[in-house]
Structure formats: C-alpha cells, structure tokens
Amino acid sequence: MARITVNVDGIRFEEEVEPRLLLVHLLRDRLGKTGTPIGCDTSNCGACTVLLDGKSAKSCAVLAVQADGCDIATVEGLAAGGRRHPVQTAFHEEHALQCGYCTPGMIMAAIDLLRTDPDPSDEAIREGLEGNLCRCTGYQNIVRAVRRAASIDGPVNGEQAAAREVPA
Amino acid sequence: MTAAAEKAPPDGTREEVGRARRRKEDARLITGRTQWTDNIQLPGTLHVAFLRSPLAHARIQQVDTAPARGLPGVVAVYSGADFAAEQGSLPCAWPVSDDLVVPDHPPMAVNEVRYVGEAVACVVATDRYKAADALAAIEVDYEPLPAVLDMNEALADGADKVHEAGNKAFTWTFAGGDIDAAFRDAPVVIHRTYVQQRLIPSAMEPRAVVATTDGDTCTLYSATQIPHVLRVMLALTTGIPEHRLRVIAPDVGGGFGSKLQVTAEEVLLLLMTRRLGRPVKWTESRSEGNLTVHHGRDQIQRVKLAADRDGRVRGLSVDLLADMGAYLMLVTPGVPLLGAFMYNGIYKMDAYDFRCTGVFTTKMPTDAYRGAGRPEATYAIERVMDELAAELGIDPIDVRRRNWIAHEEFPYTTIAGLTYDSGHYEAATDRATALFGYADLRAEQARRRQSRDPVQLGIGVSTYTEMCGLAPSRILGSLRYGAGGWEHAEVRMLPTGKVEVVTGSSAHGQGHETAWSQIVADSLGVPFEDVSVLHGDTAVAPKGMDTYGSRSLTIGGMAVLRACEKVKDKARHIAAHLLEASAEDVEYTGGSVRVRGTGAGRTIQENALAVFTAHDLPDGVEPRLDAQATFDPENFSFPHGTHLCAVEVDTETGMSRIRSYVAVDDVGKVVNPLIVEGQVHGGLAQGIGQALFEEAVHDADGNLLTTTLADYLVPSAADLPDFITDRTETPAVSNPLGVKGVGEAGTIASTPAVVNAIVDALRPYGVNDVRMPCSPERVWRALNGGAS
Ligand code: FES
Ligand code: FES
C-alpha cells in the first residue's frame, strides 16, 4: 500500500492505495468521481480522459501512485462555478453527443487540444481527437463543437479549467 | 448549409415539432452527472468476475473451484454445475420455422463450451481486483473438440458437429412471382457472391449489471436497450415471478442492437444476489465484451439477377447462409429474415426468390446489429444494380431510375409482399446528384481514367429503402415472433400544470426526452420546458416494448400523441362543466379549452389544478387529468434516400480515401432536425466502418483475434470525412405524425455506397468486387489479380 495525495477538481484527497490501482478506478470507485467513464482496457478509446496537471491523460493508463501530488481535472469540475465551460456549451449547442458515454473524455481532450492549438483547422481537430472514440455521432458535430468553442471569446479554454483548481 | 442550421429556432413562436431543439438530456451528460450502471454503488456490493473458455469447442471434464475459495476477499466461487438446477436456458424469442433447432443454452456452461469466451465459472469477491485475481486459481480440465468455423464446411456431409442435432439451424424460404419465367431466356444474368463479414457492435459503454434483492423483490440494473422485454424474459427464464422483479436501464451508453439481448450475465447475477442476499455487480472489460457481446452480420449472399438489355430487372434470386454462431439468442434466427423483405429494394420486378439457411458454428452468437438484416439486403441489391449497370454500360443512376417505383405509383405492393406507403425516389436522387456535383465528378473520373492517374476516382451510388417502425403485431405474429410490436405511453398533468410523460420506449442516446417533449408541447399547447419524460424503469414505466428497429418515434411517439389526445378530451369535458357550456361548444386550442365564439376559456394548467382540488368536477369524473395509450401500427414505415460517395483509390498502395459523401434521406416528417442529422451522421460512420475498417477475425482454432479496439477498428475522427446531408420530406401516410424513423438509415445506405465507389474506381482494371472491409491490402490484391 502506498499513501498518495491528489487534488481532484479542487478537493484534496489522501488515500492508501495498492500500487496497481489505476487512476480511473481511484476516481470512480474510491472517490465517487463517476463522471469519468471507462470504455476499454487497452487505452484506445479515450473515454477516461482527464487533465493531469493541465494536460490530457487517459486515466486508465496512469497508476494512482503516479498521480501522487498531481492536480486532476475531470468533467465534473468544469462547471464548478455554476457556469458551463465553453467546450461543454459548444457540445450541447452543436449536438456533439448522443449517448454521451464518450463525452467526458471528448470534452477533456478537446480542452487540451484548444490549449495547445487555440484555432485548429478541422483536420487538426480530427487528428487531435483521434485517440477518443465515439460510436454514436460520426464525429462531425464534435468537430463543429470544438471549432465553435475555439471561436468563443473569453478565457482561453483549458486555462479556465486550470484556474479553478486549488493548488495542493 | 445543413438541415439543423436552417431550422435553428429564431424565436419562441414556432411550433415545437420541426425545431432544432437542443437536447434536454445533454445537461447531465456534459457535466458527468450521468447514471451509468457501473456508477451504481449499493452498500455491501460484491463484485463478480467470469472465467471464460479459452477454447472454441470442448467438453468440460472438471471444474475445480476449491483453490479459489480461500483467497483474500473471495466470498463465493461457482461453476456451471452450481447453477444447473435453476439457470434455465437463454431464450430465443423468434422460432422462425418448424424445422428450427433451438439448442439448450445454459447461461453458464455445464458440460460443453462452444465458443471462446463462454462462461465456465465465476468468482464473487469484495472488490473487482480481488475477483479478477481469484479467477487464476480455478482449474478447468477441457477435452478439446473440433472447432466449426466455416459455414460451407459446416453444412457438408460428415462435418464436425456444433450440436448433436447437426449444424443446420433452419431453412426459410420466400417466393414471389414466377422466378423460372423471369430467368428463362433472360438476356442478362448476373451472379455474385457477397460476404457480410462478422462485426462487433462496439457501443462505447461496456455492458454492466447490478443485481440486488431485499429478500422479496429482485432489482436488476443493466446497460440494456430492453428493460421491459428483459423483465418478461428473465421472469420466464429464472422463475422469479414477474411482479417481484424490477428492471432498470439507467443511462445507457449506446446499443446499436447489442444491448437488445437477454444475457447470461443478467441471469447469473440475479441468481447470485438471491443466493448471497447481497448486491452483486459485474462490468465487462472491452476485451471480454468483444468476445461475448453478440456479434452482427456474418452472412454469405449468393445473388442472381435477371434483366433485359435495356436494364429492366426481371427477377432476383437470393440464397443466403447466415451464421448463427453457437446458439440462438433473443432474435438470432430472425435477423437475416428481416432482410428477406428488402432484397428487392426500391425496385419493381416480376419475381423474387429467397432462401436462407441458418448455420451453427463455434463462434459467439450473432444477433441484431444496427439495421439487422436490412443493411445486408441493401448491400446485395445495391451492389448488384451497379454490376448490372456496368454490364450494360448504363449509368448506375439511370439503371436504378429505369427500375424504381415511381412517385405516382405509391402505395405500391412489392414483390416481397410489403406495401410501401409513400416515397419519392426521384426527388431524393435529384437533390443528391445536385449536391454531389455528379456530372463534374464523372467528368473528372473520365479524365483520370484517360490519363491513367495512379489515383483513380470512384463514384458509388446507393438508393436504399428500409422497413422501419417494428412492427405491426399481427405481422410479427405471422412471422412467429414471440412478442407484439406496440408501444405504450402515459401523459399526466400535474397539479401545478407541469406534464409528466411516461414512455415504454427506452432511450440510450436517441434523445427521446427532447423529442417527446416537443410532441407533447405542440399537442397540449404547453411550454417545452414544462414537460419531463420518464423511461427505462419497469417500476416507473411499467409497460413497454423498448427501443430497436427504428421504432421509437413511429410507434412510441405515436403512443405519446394518442395519450395527449385523450388528456385533451378529458380536459374538454371538465372545462365545459366549469365553463357551464356543453361539451360540443368547447374546443381545445393553444393550451386552453375555449367556448366557441366567446372569450371564455380555461387553460390546461387551470384544469389540472381544478382536477387536483376536485371541488367541482362533473358527475362520474375521476379526479385525474392523465391518460394512457398503446399504439400498434398497421404498417411498417419506409424511409428511403439516395447516397452518393466519391472515393479516391491509390492504385499503387490500395489506400482508399472518401473525398465526398452526400446523403439525402427522406425520413418523412421530422420532429427535431438536429437529432435526425445526428442519427444520420452516426449511421454513416458505422456503415463506412463496415465498408472500410471493421471485421471480427478468428484464427483457425476459433480464437477471436480482434478483442481490443486496437485490433477491431472502430473509425476515429481522423478516419472519416465531413458528410453533406440533406432531406426530402415525403410524409409517411401510415401514421398521423407522418414520421418514418431514422436510426438505421445511414448504416443501411452507406456500406454499398462506399464499396460501389471503390469498385467503380477499379473497374478499368477488371475488378468487379472487393471483399469488405476494403482495406488497402484487399484493394491492392484485387488490383493485382489475387483473391481480395
Ligand atoms: S478507458 Fe481509458 S482509453 Fe479506454
Ligand atoms: S455519444 Fe455515444 S459514444 Fe459518443
């Protein structure tokens, strides 16, 4: 067992974990952060994507112990202030989700994409989200949503999420 | 410009139906407050892990669960023998023919395993890691038996057997017209064999089940499309009385037919919670799911078409082999037969002959996957129409035009015996060719052919129709299906004037909460925001037939509309009394009951309150302003459309790239264009997936090689183009909403459109088929003379 400290959506947790525990299971099964789902066991689908110290990471491919001392932002924390993140709004407006299972991961990946490329082309969006699979939408509206979010004024996407995190 | 953008609501004055309303269900989905089955953490929950057969076919000699019992956290370990007395046999609800062989299908194998992944034992432990750990300690002795993998070999004399009774599950035939006459002296006869590869549905949410009991009633949470059907079937299978069984489908992350099933795990978890008296939970991993969620397609189609030299089709003969896999699951044998009525497509012909043989193999059973039988049929007819065009040197659109049912010929009874109520193939095709720039692309194709450009351009046409809105109960009965095809709804006015709608249709991404709200808002004249829709829990929505076969709107939506009409009738009656008018003198309009010719009226909200207080109701009227309705359609609905695809094929590498894709669909009246467009996009992606990327591959021993999303290629954003979508609107006349259904259209249309385009690009090289998925390797082999 190892003792770790993580900051998840601005709340600090201290946990005793088995070294093999996956971050996504820590989030879901131990911390009750079920907003981040699991879609595969080979790190291919991206459903479990979170921001780890501001950068997107597949939380099924990270051990909980590796996240010790990290800030973790999940989809649940994005609208913490009662206002939706522009990417959330854009997904809603553009009908970029159907069953919504890929959506938390897709939104987190899109936030990271816009952080590194604030004005991406359609092609860059498609390439950038290649690691996030959606079986429902055919992606077209997801691409539209990311483009829409990119054009929204206000705090640059991603920074806004990071700004809400409480330092450890 | 897209349909969705055109219809964006500029103000609040428009009717709700037809508006691109943003979805109500999004609020929880984009914020992570969704209730997936795996999120459910009941106090004291135990976790289940299954040990699965590593062999495609074997006799089970012995299962030794003892070594796993004492391991940390392990509460119980079971093998099939432990459940043998009570587990029953997983149901097949569609006994299609008299000769059908329905093998016993124990949820946990007892004596024999017949596919890789079949459950042979399980561990129940205090957490999921410990349950998985303990599986390794269970010892199973298998006596290997021969795997049976190839349908043609399975049917040969002396073949190794999957079941005692042999490898043939059934034979089913249909004949319309005089097929011999149609082929006799036919100037053109085209024979083709097409392979519908096995697919893995791959909903992004893996299956998950939670079962619990209070000692009296059992509750099952499951990632299912069919809570109502499941409840009935589980009661029949396990003997748990139906009234003591509640089934809940919480938020469900996609289904595409794969969650239209009664699964081994659902049955076994119910038995386990009864035995242990504690909640039990199981969530599959993706690799486990690829092995054990039912697969789709897997058919071999031998198609023969007779035509005149002017391109007029005389007759069509189809001989189909359909791989059932190892057992018959809920609707396994019925799936290929849903296609039986669709091979003739949108075309007139003198004769049609269909024969299907269901075949057992030692693979995961097949069952419904988006389109279920209809994509296969559409693929065959649309591919072979292109072959006919090529044979005669006629443009593929012209050859279709010469054969399709003209707009003025509707309603039209087809050679397969269905009556298509409406359609306008000319309009959809004209719109599609215009959006596509058909003539220009043909000209470019000619130039590239001329210059022997290594990158050739192919143009694929698909003019599809489908039967949707499953289904008129009487027709289902005549096809021996085990249930009806109606749908149920209840509409309740609450005392404060808000509206609760209960629907038996169980959504898992389709947007019922939004679309049903739109229908109710218009019908009752209440604000869209004032309507909430409840579904997916047999204790909340006790009656239903659930969601599949593009039936939700055409049947479930109609039930909602009917229930609204009954509520309005009641409101009229009550308001007339309160307004001291006669019932004939009042009318319901704009959310109020008004006395004709006067200003007097009462809103539906005022009526709701008056009913709640019940101080002054007409004699004999119960104090409730609600109504139930069950709708059973008289006919299927028949969406149709024209899809055009341009593909660039690199003849040196075999690489295909979709350059443009136009989909013009006619789904009748549209309740929410945003949702319709989304359904089309998603359907296209799945159909293109079959054409280009997806295939469940087994090795010679029957091991599935594509157990992960790294091997089974669900298309990513980078693999797909932008689609151009548009609609024509020819209302269905078979239901008052005029709607037809859209859930499967894109999937049905797109597979042949893409493959037709690839083959079209390669025709100058003597290629007339590429087997799906049309990977670069297959295309390259086709070009270089090898078997594709
Ligand atoms: S669950 Fe993490 S990538 Fe699939
Ligand atoms: S919305 Fe269902 S998987 Fe993306």
Q: Which atom of ligand 2 is nearest to the CA of A106?
A: 4
Residue-wise burial string across B316-350, b where 16 or more C-beta atoms lie within 10 A, e elsewhere = bbbbbbbbbbbbbbbbbbbbbbbbbbbbbbbbbbb
Cβ distance of A135 and B129 shorter than 8 Å: no
Asked whether residue B604 is assigned to any structural domain, the reply reads yes
Residues of A in contact with B29 (CB under 8 A): 97, 99-100, 103
Q: Which residue range is the domain that position A8 belongs to?
A: 2-77
Residues of A in contact with B28 (CB under 8 A): 100
State whether B653 and B700 are in the same domain.
yes
Asked whether residue B154 is assigned to any structural domain, the reply reads no
How many inter-chain contacts (A to B, CB under 8 Å) are there?
A: 186
State whether A14 and A29 are in the same domain.
yes
Task: State residue B299 phi and psi, 5-degree precision.
Answer: -135, 150
Identify which of A75, A92, A143 has the shortest CB distance to residue B32.
Answer: A75
From the CA of B510, which ligand is nearest? 2
From the CA of A46, which ligand is nearest? 1
Pocket test for ligand 2, best of B34, B202, B204, B720 (most atoms within 8 A of CB): B204
Give which of B1, B30, B37, B705 to mutate to test A binding, by max A Cβ within 10 Å: B30
> If you count them, how many residues does chain A have?
168
Residue B13 has pLDDT above 80, yes or no: no
Residue B729 has pLDDT above 70, yes or no: yes
Mapped onto helix, strand or coil, the DSSP state of residue B431 is helix
Looking at the complex, report in whole angstroms how far the Cα of residue A136 sits from the nearest Cα belonging to chain B. Answer: 5
State whether A63 and A123 are in the same domain.
no
Residues of A in contact with B26 (CB under 8 A): 91-92, 97, 100
User: Model confidence at B593, in pLDDT bands (50, 70, 90)?
Assistant: very high
Cβ distance of B678 and A91 shorter than 8 Å: no
Section B756-783 average pLDDT:
97
Side-chain half-sphere of A168: how many Cα atoms within 13 Å?
15
**Sequence-separated (6 or more) residues with CB below 8 Å from residue B434:** none
Handedness of CA B155, B156, B162, B167 (dihedral sign): positive
B122: nearest Cα among B45, B17, B49, B213:
B49
- Which CATH number characterizes residue B70's domain? 3.90.1170.50
Residue A122 has pLDDT above 60, yes or no: yes
> Would you state the pLDDT for residue A163?
39
> Angle A52-A55-A58 (CA atoms, 0-180°, nearest 5)?
65
Residue A165 has pLDDT above 50, yes or no: no
Give which of B23, B31, B288, B680 to mutate to test A binding, by max A Cβ within 10 Å: B31
- What is the DSSP annotation of B295-308? BEEEEEEEEEEEE-
Mean pLDDT of chain B: 95
Asked whether residue B695 is assigned to any structural domain, the reply reads yes
Distances (CA, A) of B172 to A43, B177, B368, B470, B485: 44, 17, 18, 20, 22
Residues of A in contact with B716 (CB under 8 A): 126, 129-133, 139
The number of distinct structural domains making up chain A is 2
Cβ distance of A35 and B30 shorter than 8 Å: no
Cβ distance of B204 and A84 shorter than 8 Å: no
Cβ distance of A137 and B681 shorter than 8 Å: yes
State whether B514 and B553 are in the same domain.
yes
> If you count them, how many residues does chain B have?
788
| CB neighbour class for B401 (10 Å; exposed up to 12, middle 13-18, buried from 19) | middle
Cβ distance of A140 and B708 shorter than 8 Å: no
The three-state DSSP-derived secondary structure of B457-469 is EEEEEEEEECCEC
From the CA of A101, which ligand is nearest? 2
Ligand 1 site: residues with CB under 6 angstroms?
Answer: A 38-40, 43-48, 58, 60
For residue B21, the 8-state DSSP code is P
Section B93-99 average pLDDT:
94
State whether B140 and B285 are in the same domain.
yes
Its pTM stands at 0.95
* DSSP H helix total and E strand total for chain A: 6, 5
Distances (CA, A) of B459 to B202, B726, B757: 29, 19, 4
From the CA of A131, which ligand is nearest? 1
Q: Which helix (H) or strand (E) holds B208?
A: strand B208-213
- Which CATH number characterizes residue A98's domain? 1.10.150.120
Long-range contacts of B397-402 (CB under 8 A, 24+ apart): B397/B429, B397/B433, B397/B438, B397/B461, B397/B463, B398/B311, B399/B311, B400/B346, B400/B347, B400/B425, B400/B429, B400/B461, B400/B463, B401/B426, B401/B429, B402/B310, B402/B311, B402/B312
B624: nearest Cα among B560, B558, B563, B574:
B574
Share of chain B above pLDDT 70, in %: 98
Distances (CA, A) of B632 to B277, B475, B487, B545, B555: 40, 11, 7, 11, 7
Q: Which residue range is the domain that position B565 belongs to?
A: 486-631
Q: Of A73-87, B201-215, B488-502, where does mean pLDDT reach its minimum? A: A73-87
> Angle B537-B541-B542 (CA atoms, 0-180°, nearest 5)?
100
Alpha-carbon distance of B659 to B436, in angstroms, equals 11
> Angle B130-B136-B141 (CA atoms, 0-180°, nearest 5)?
145
State whether A69 and A12 are in the same domain.
yes
User: Model confidence at B597, in pLDDT bands (50, 70, 90)?
Assistant: confident
Q: Is A138 on the interface with B (CB under 8 A)?
A: yes
Cβ distance of B717 and A79 shorter than 8 Å: no
Provide the edge-to-edge strand list for the sheet that holds B455-465.
Answer: B455-465, B640-650, B656-666, B724-727
Residue A168 has pLDDT above 80, yes or no: no
Residue where a domain terminates, one of A77, A97, A122: A77
Pair B554, B732: CB distance under 8 Å: yes
Looking at the complex, report in whole angstroms how far the Cα of residue A157 sits from the nearest Cα belonging to chain B. Answer: 16
State whether B558 and B677 are in the same domain.
no
Provide the edge-to-edge strand list for the sheet that holds B592-595.
Answer: B586-589, B592-595, B601-603
Q: A109 CB less than 6 Å from ligand 2?
A: no
User: Model confidence at B788, in pLDDT bands (50, 70, 90)?
Assistant: low
Identify which of B32, B286, B508 has the shortest CB distance to residue A104.
Answer: B32
State whether A88 and A160 are in the same domain.
yes
Residue B33 has pLDDT above 80, yes or no: yes
Alpha-carbon distance of B300 to B322, in angstroms, equals 7
Q: Which helix (H) or strand (E) holds A111?
A: helix A103-116
Residue where a domain terminates, one of A17, A45, A77: A77
Amino acid identity for residue B310 in this structure: D
Pairing state between β B280-283 and B46-52: parallel
State whether B597 and B724 are in the same domain.
no
Section B243-255 average pLDDT:
97
Distances (CA, A) of B346 to B196, B307, B464, B469, B645: 21, 16, 7, 18, 19
- What is the DSSP annotation of B752-767? HHHHHHHHHHHGGGT-
Alpha-carbon distance of B560 to B499, in angstroms, equals 12
Section B119-143 average pLDDT:
97
Number of CB atoms found within 10 A of residue B154's CB: 21
Pair A48, A33: CB distance under 8 Å: no
| CB neighbour class for B197 (10 Å; exposed up to 12, middle 13-18, buried from 19) | middle
> Would you state the pLDDT for residue A154?
45
Alpha-carbon distance of A67 to A59, in angstroms, equals 9
Write out the E strands in B239-350: 245-248, 280-283, 296-307, 313-325
Q: Is A78 on the interface with B (CB under 8 A)?
A: yes
State whether A97 and A127 are in the same domain.
yes
pLDDT higher for B5 or B777? Answer: B777
> Would you state the pLDDT for residue B224?
97
> Would you state the pLDDT for residue B497?
96
Identify which of A29, A103, A134 has the shortest CB distance to residue B30.
Answer: A103
> Would you state the pLDDT for residue B4?
40
Residue where a domain terminates, one of A54, A77, A100: A77
Asked whether residue B479 is assigned to any structural domain, the reply reads no
State whether B534 and B661 are in the same domain.
no
- Which CATH number characterizes residue B397's domain? 3.30.365.10
Q: Which atom of ligand 2 is nearest to the CA of A136?
A: 2
Cβ distance of B685 and A141 shorter than 8 Å: no
State whether A90 and A62 are in the same domain.
no
User: Model confidence at A152, in pLDDT bands (50, 70, 90)?
Assistant: confident
The number of distinct structural domains making up chain B is 3
Identify which of B127, B204, B283 has the shortest CB distance to residue A47.
Answer: B204
Asked whether residue B43 is assigned to any structural domain, the reply reads yes
Separation of CA B33 and ligand 2 centre (Å): 15
Residue B227 has pLDDT above 60, yes or no: yes
Cβ distance of B684 and A103 shorter than 8 Å: no
Separation of CA A105 and ligand 1 centre (Å): 9
- Which CATH number characterizes residue A51's domain? 3.10.20.30
The three-state DSSP-derived secondary structure of B341-393 is CCCCCCECCCEEEEEEEEEECCCCCECCCCCCCHHHHHHHHHHHHHHHHHHHC
> Would you state the pLDDT for residue B1?
35
State whether A146 and A106 are in the same domain.
yes
Pocket test for ligand 2, best of A38, A99, A139, A143 (most atoms within 8 A of CB): A99
